[in-house]
Chain A
Amino acid sequence: MELALDILPQVLMDGIVLGFTYALIALGYTMVYGVLEFINFAHSEIFVLGAFVGVEILLLLESTGHLATLHIAFVLLLVILGGMLFSGLAAMALERVAYRPLQGSPRLVALISAIGASFFLQDALRFFESLWRNTFYLTYPTLDALDKTVPLGLNVVVPVKSLLVIATALVALAVLHLFVNRTRLGAAIRAVAQDPDTASLMGIPVNRVIALTFFVGGAMGGLAGVLFGLHYSLVNPYSGFFPGLKAFTAAVLGGIGNISGAMLGGMVLGMLEAFAGSYLSILTDGAFGAEYKDVFAFAVLIVILIFRPKGLLGERVREEGA
Chain B
Amino acid sequence: MKVGLAHLGVIAYIIASSALVFAFPQSVLAFLSFEASLLVIYHASVDQTTKLCLGAIVLLVLLPVLGSVNGYYLEIAIQVGIFVALALGLNIVVGFVGLLNLGFVAFYAIGAYLWAIFGSPQANHFIPGNLFPLSSAWFFPFLLLSVGVGALTGALLGLPVLRLRGDYLAVVTLGFAEVVRALVNNFDKPINITNGPKGITPIEKPPLFFQPLLEFFGLRVDPSVLYPFYFYFIVLFIVILTVLVAQRLEESRIGRAWKAIREDEIAAASMGIPVVRMKLLGLAVGASFASAVGVLFAAKQVFINPESFTFMESIGVLAMVILGGMGSIPGAILGATGVTILNLQLLKGLSLWLNTVRQAGIVLSIPLLGDFNLSQIPAQFEPAKYERMVFGLILILMMMFRPQGVLPPRQKRGH
Contacts and interface: CB of A to CB of B under 8 A. Distances in A.
B153 interface: no
A127 B387 CA distance: 12
Given A122-B388, A287-B190, A295-B178, A113 B165 contact: no
B389 A127 contact: yes
A123 B98 contact: no
Interface string A131-169: 100111000000000000000000000000000000000
Interface residues of B, number: 50
B400 interface: yes
A309 B163 CA distance: 10
B389 A123 contact: yes
B138 to A, nearest CB: 31
Contact of B165 (A115, A291, A322): A322
B389 A111 contact: no
Contacts of A279: none
B363 interface: no
Interface in A262-283: none
B393 interface: yes
B315 interface: yes
Nearest to B189: A287
Interface string B169-183: 011101110110011
Interface string B266-295: 100000000000000000000000000000
Given A112-B399, A306-B161, A321-B165, A295 B179 contact: yes
Given A119-B392, A120-B393, A130-B380, A108 B171 contact: no
A4 interface: no
Interface in B369-415: 378, 380-381, 385-389, 391-397, 399-400, 403
B85 interface: no
B389 A241 contact: no
Interface in A240-266: 241, 245, 248-249, 252
Given A291-B186, A292-B186, A305-B168, A130 B378 contact: yes
Interface in B59-98: 98
A127 B383 CA distance: 10
Contacts of A136: 380
A136 B185 CA distance: 26
A109 B399 contact: yes
Given A123-B389, A305-B161, A39 B170 contact: yes
Interface stretch (A76-84, A99-107, A200-208, A209-217): A99-107
Contacts of B183: 295
Nearest to B312: A119
B380 A115 contact: no
Contacts of A117: 392, 396
Contacts of A245: 171, 174-175, 178
B395 A112 contact: yes
Contacts of B394: 116
A245 B394 CA distance: 22
- Determine the interface band of chain A, counting residues with CB < 8 A from chain B: 35 or more
B128 interface: no
Name the residue among B182, B315, B391, B395 with the largest chain A CB count within 10 angstroms.
Answer: B395
B389 to A, nearest CB: 4
Contact of A248 (B164, B166, B171, B265): B171
A315 B294 CA distance: 39
Name the residue among A115, A126, A130 with the largest chain B CB count within 10 angstroms.
Answer: A115
Contacts, number: 139
B395 to A, nearest CB: 3
Contact of B378 (A112, A116, A134, A306): A134
Contacts of B47: none
A170 interface: no
A108 B100 CA distance: 7
B380 A113 contact: no
B299 interface: no
Given A301-B171, A301-B175, A102 B399 contact: yes
A322 B388 contact: no
B172 A302 contact: yes
Contacts of B318: 112, 115
Contact of A134 (B98, B380, B388, B400): B380
Contacts of A322: 165, 265-266
Contact of A118 (B175, B265, B392): B392
B177 to A, nearest CB: 9
A302 B392 contact: no
A299 B387 CA distance: 29
A241 B160 contact: no
Contact of A38 (B167, B179, B190, B403): B167
A91 interface: no
Contacts of A124: 389
A39 B172 CA distance: 13
Contacts of A306: 160-161
B322 interface: yes
Nearest to B386: A123
B311 interface: yes
A72 interface: no
B164 A123 contact: no
Nearest to B185: A291
Contacts of A291: 182, 185-186
Contacts of A126: 380, 385-386
B396 A113 contact: yes
A48 interface: no
A51 interface: no
Contact of A111 (B100, B172, B178, B378): B100
A298 interface: yes
A14 interface: no
A121 interface: yes
B101 to A, nearest CB: 11
Interface of A: 38-39, 98, 101-102, 105, 107-113, 115-124, 126-127, 130-131, 134-136, 241, 245, 248-249, 252, 286-289, 291-292, 294-295, 297-299, 301-302, 305-306, 309, 321-322
26 contacts: A98-B396, A107-B167, A108-B100, A109-B403, A112-B318, A113-B395, A115-B102, A116-B393, A116-B395, A118-B392, A120-B388, A120-B396, A122-B392, A123-B389, A124-B389, A127-B381, A131-B381, A134-B378, A134-B380, A136-B380, A245-B174, A292-B186, A299-B179, A302-B161, A302-B176, A305-B161
Closest 9 CB pairs of A and B: A116-B395, A120-B392, A119-B392, A298-B175, A123-B389, A130-B380, A116-B396, A113-B399, A287-B190
